[in-house]
Amino acid sequence: MKRIGILIGLILVLLVLSVFGGMFYIVDETQQVIITQFGDPVGDPVVTPGLKVKTPFIQKAIFFEKRFIEWDGERNQIPTRDKRFIYVDTYARWQITDPLKYFQRLRDERGAQSRLDDILDGETRNAIANHDLLEVVRTTTREFEVSEDDQDSGDTEFAAIKIGRAEIAMEVLEKSQTRVTDLGIKILDFRFKRINYVEEVRREVYQRMISERSRIAEQFRSEGEGEAANIGGEQEKLLQEITSVAYRTAEETKGKADAQAADIYARAYNRDPDFYRFTKSMSTLEETLDADTILVLGTDGELLKYVENSK
């Protein structure tokens, strides 16, 4: 009975130690742990998940992230090699690869982020300063498809491009990685999130773009006006041709009609000259006389003869 009491007492002591002294701790799949004793790390890092045991009260479990961690850079104003001031915004992803070395050199994530600020921002400045603006904003090294307008403007700046933005980002990543090998971390990826001109330069660039587009628009407008004048000239020429042909056809038709009418009149005159003269005289009277007309005829006139005969 006494042994049972001692055993129960030991169990209770162990339970008290485990609860209040932190004898047990659980490692999640997304975590890795180092054990410190009086502030100094002891043993190997714990990287496997599960229920773990440590010395209560004396040892302490410090948890670190095993997954990828985000680094978001500050938006900095940086000059390029061709003296163009731009704002550069960057981001990166990193991971703790050696928890023990990480703890010894950086202590925690705040210290790691601060150190990455110095390394990544510095390498970004160096990379931007060593390249021209066109190389920084490009994503590939493919050749430009230069339009005729750009060729006419004499802009040969495109030919100087040797590297693209992706290669510059890779350059920053490689140089930064060599500086963090002794920190227990690894930089997995680095990217330019946004690149933009400073306000003063941006206004100049926008003005240059507006001027260039206005020049091209004016050229298109001039070419359009010239083409419209050509089309108008062709239309006027075609209209003159149509009018001339129509007038000629009308005159030919009119001449044929007059000839036919004259022929009819001639045949009528030859058949009965007296009747023809009579109808012609009556037609002339009808066309020349009205109610207000006073006609004075000679005694030997043809019209008076017909009037006297009609009585």
Q: Confirm whether 206 is domain-assigned.
A: no
Nearest to 195 by CA among 69, 73, 70, 113: 73
- Show the tokens assigned to 213: 């587009």
Pairing of strands 185-197, 85-96: antiparallel
pLDDT (0 to 100) of residue 261 = 80
Confidence (pLDDT) at 172: 96
Same domain flag for 50 and 108: no
The mean per-residue pLDDT over the stretch 11-31 comes to 75
Range with the lowest mean pLDDT among 71-75, 136-140, 193-197, 298-302? 298-302
Instruction: For residues 83 and 12, state if they share a domain.
Output: no
Percent of the chain residues past pLDDT 90, beyond the cut: 37
Q: Is residue 227 part of a domain?
A: yes
pLDDT in tens, 26-77: 999 999 999 999 889 998 999 999 999 888 888 999 999 999 999 999 899 9
* Predicted confidence (pLDDT) per residue in 71-107, tens digit: 999 899 999 998 888 999 999 999 999 999 999 999 9
- 257 with 283, same domain: the answer is no
- Tell whether 28 and 56 lie within a shared domain: yes
- Which range among 10-24, 100-114, 115-129, 275-289 shows the weakest confidence by mean pLDDT? 10-24
60 Cβ partners below 8 Å, 6+ apart? Answer: 22, 35, 36, 37, 54
Q: Count of residues for the chain? A: 311
Mean pLDDT, the chain, whole residue set: 83
* Cα–Cα nearest to 33, from 96, 79, 111, 87: 96
Q: Are 159 and 132 in contact (CB under 8 A)?
A: no
Does the structure show a pLDDT above 80 at 236?
Answer: yes
Distance in angstroms (rounded) separating the CA atoms of residues 43 and 35? 7
pLDDT, position 156:
45
- Residues 226 and 152 reside in one and the same domain: no
For residues 282 and 170, membership in a common domain is answered with no
Same domain assignment for residues 297 and 250: no
Contact 109, 65 (CB under 8 A): yes
Q: What is the pLDDT of residue 306?
A: 59
- Distance CA(298)–CA(81), nearest Å, equals 115
* Whether residues 242 and 156 fall in one domain: no
- Does 238 lie in the same domain as 166? no
Say whether both 153 and 261 belong to one domain.
Answer: no
Nearest to 41 by CA among 107, 110, 114: 107
Would residue 225 count as lying in a domain? Answer: yes
Claim to verify: residue 168 and residue 261 sit in the same structural domain: no
Distance CA 93, CA 75 (A): 17
pLDDT, one tens digit per residue, over 207-230 is 888 888 888 898 889 889 888 989
User: Is-above-0.75 flag for pTM?
Assistant: no
Query: What is the CATH classification number for the domain harbouring 129?
Result: 3.30.479.30
More confident residue, 198 or 292: 198
Chain segment 146-170, per-residue pLDDT in tens: 566 555 555 545 545 678 888 999 9
Number of domains in the chain: 4
Domain hosting residue 291, numbered range = 273-311
Asked whether residue 277 falls in the same domain as residue 261, the answer is no
